[in-house]
Amino acid sequence: MESINTLREFIIKMLKEITQLNDAFTELDSLIDKEAECIHRQERIAKINVLKSRLVYEVQRIQDEEYESERSFNTGKLRSGIAHFVLGSIAGAMTKQENPFSFGYNSFSTELDKKACFGNVMIFVKKNGNLEDVEAVSISSFAREHKTTESNVILVIKDNGYILLTPEEFWELLLQLKEEIMEGRYKSEIEQVKALLDYV
């Protein structure tokens, strides 16, 4: 009888230990899942950080190009204005104008009044696209190339299914998106890209 009681106590003890081990494995499994999810979120945030770094570089490069284009435009305008002043003054003198320099000055003023847009750099995102499709573009450069206004360029880009944001607006959206990823709101990259587009 004593051996049966000992055996029963041993079995009860073993069952408790098995239950404790099972609970420990369940807790460990839960911790592993949480850690895997945390790593997955960190990977998605790292991709967003890489995207932002790429875009910061692109925006800076385009802005530098815009600065150089504006400098060249203004230098060219001044040189052309001086040439028009000289030629206009000569033409005024040849046609025996009362003040030949006023004729030259009018030509000079006309050249200096020429305008072009520079420096409007934006981020565009394709609707239903992914984060790799996001790019920085110079709206001003397109406007100059196509001899139109920046607002017309923006309308055409939007009509072709793109969303346009200033770099600052886009950085703010990325920050908001990263915070929401860390809170666990988005389970997949597709959901987070959709969320990004929904913000816009």
Do 122 and 164 contact (CB within 8 A), yes or no?
yes
Domain contains 144: yes
Mean pLDDT of 118-133: 81
Domain contains 27: yes
Give CA angle at 133 (130, 137), nearest 5°: 140
Domain of 189, in residue numbers: 2-63+116-199
Q: Max alpha carbon distance in the chain (Å)?
A: 139
Domain contains 92: no
Q: Per the structure block, which two tokens stand in for 108?
A: 């000079």
* pLDDT tens track for 146-156: 999 999 999 99
What's this model's pTM, rounded to 2 decimal places?
0.69
* pLDDT tens track for 180-198: 888 877 656 656 666 665 5
* pLDDT tens track for 15-71: 788 888 787 777 877 777 777 778 878 888 888 899 999 999 999 999 999 999 989
* pLDDT tens track for 70-122: 898 888 877 877 777 777 777 777 777 667 677 677 777 777 677 888 999 99
CA gap 170, 124 in Å, rounded: 9
Give CA angle at 188 (182, 194), nearest 5°: 95
Distances 68 to 33, 59, 141 between C-alpha atoms, Å: 53, 14, 12
Domain contains 79: no
Domain contains 84: no
End-to-end C-alpha distance for the chain, whole angstroms:
78
Domain contains 42: yes
pLDDT higher for 33 or 125?
125
Domain contains 81: no
Sheet strands side by side (includes 162-165): 135-138, 121-126, 162-165
Overall domain count for the chain: 1
Domain contains 10: yes
